[in-house]
Amino acid sequence: MTLEGDFHPEPDTTADRVFDPAARDFYVRTLQELRRAEVPFLLGGAYALARYTGIERHTKDLDVFVRPEDARRTLDALARAGYETDLTFPHWLGKAHRGREFIDVIFSGSNGVGRVDDAWFEHAVHDEVFGESVSLCPAEEMIWHKAYVQERERFDGADVAHLLRARADRLDWDRLVSRFGPHRRVLLAHLVLFGFIYPGERHRVPEALLARLLDEVRAEAVERIESDECGGPILSRAQYLSDLEDGALRDARVTGGYMTPSDVAQWTAAIDRED
């Protein structure tokens, strides 16, 4: 198989240990249907995490990542194959299912940050899952996506730490930093936590990179700025709503152009349905 750089995947035990044979058959069929429809896609979620880190997490769905412009085409291809499909949240997620098994069709982060673009495919890692040839989401993009998931009921910081630990020596650090753009403080926070979690491995984060990010924070601390934005909703859709309710602060998801007010309203309304 063709692999990116010197990546040596963990044995494909996650796929082999799916306890329900029907679920495995469903996932295999899905991968085959997407390939037959010639839809470019990447495999992410628990299966990609297991291949990078060796950490297994059995979930009830399969995460497929596509470009935003291919989301509808992906769902249409699955619908033609007999799946029930829905563009659940038009700013980031579609779903397909047959019976109890689900496919998440993801094309952005739930906060509107992290849209899937050509670079995801250019840096994808080619591997085999369920006996099928697949391309995995790059580790850098997985870290980027997961770094923002900081809900009360779900925090992906442990996934970020495990990816850093497994891949630190092989990460494209410059590309990772560029992915965060104006949100480099979020990346810095995870790098600081990495050093706390694994004190014996702090040296694996490039010293020059850490110094540069810390210098940026120091410079920002000196420069006072007038801003009525709240960046909290970029990290959690629920926990900073109180900061927005009186209108004193504006939602950075909207002011930053990541989501429309309609997207925010729909995504916020789903909180109660999912609790």
| Judgement on whether residues 131 and 42 belong to the same structural domain of the protein | yes
pLDDT confidence of residue 1: 29
Report the number of distinct structural domains present in the chain.
Answer: 3
pLDDT confidence of residue 275: 53
Q: How many residues are recorded in the chain?
A: 275
pLDDT confidence of residue 2: 33
Residues 270-275: what's their mean pLDDT? 77
Kindly tell me the number of DSSP H helices and DSSP E strands found in the chain: 14, 9
The answer to whether residue 267 scores a pLDDT higher than 80 is yes
Helices 207-222 and 184-197: angle between axes, nearest 10 degrees: 130
Scanning the chain, the segments in alpha helix (DSSP H) are 13-16, 21-36, 45-53, 71-80, 118-122, 139-147, 157-167, 173-180, 184-197, 207-222, 232-235, 241-245, 252-255, 261-274
Distant-in-sequence, close-in-space partners of 21: CB < 8 Å, separation ≥ 6: none
Assess contact for 127 and 136: CB atoms under 8 A: yes
| Judgement on whether residues 130 and 41 belong to the same structural domain of the protein | yes
Q: Provide the domain limits for residue 170.
A: 151-222
| Judgement on whether residues 244 and 217 belong to the same structural domain of the protein | no
| Judgement on whether residues 179 and 126 belong to the same structural domain of the protein | no
* Residue 144 structure tokens: 């980027």
Q: List pLDDT tens digits, range 127-144.
A: 998 889 999 999 999 999
Q: What whole-number distance in Å separates Cα of residue 94 and Cα of residue 215?
A: 40
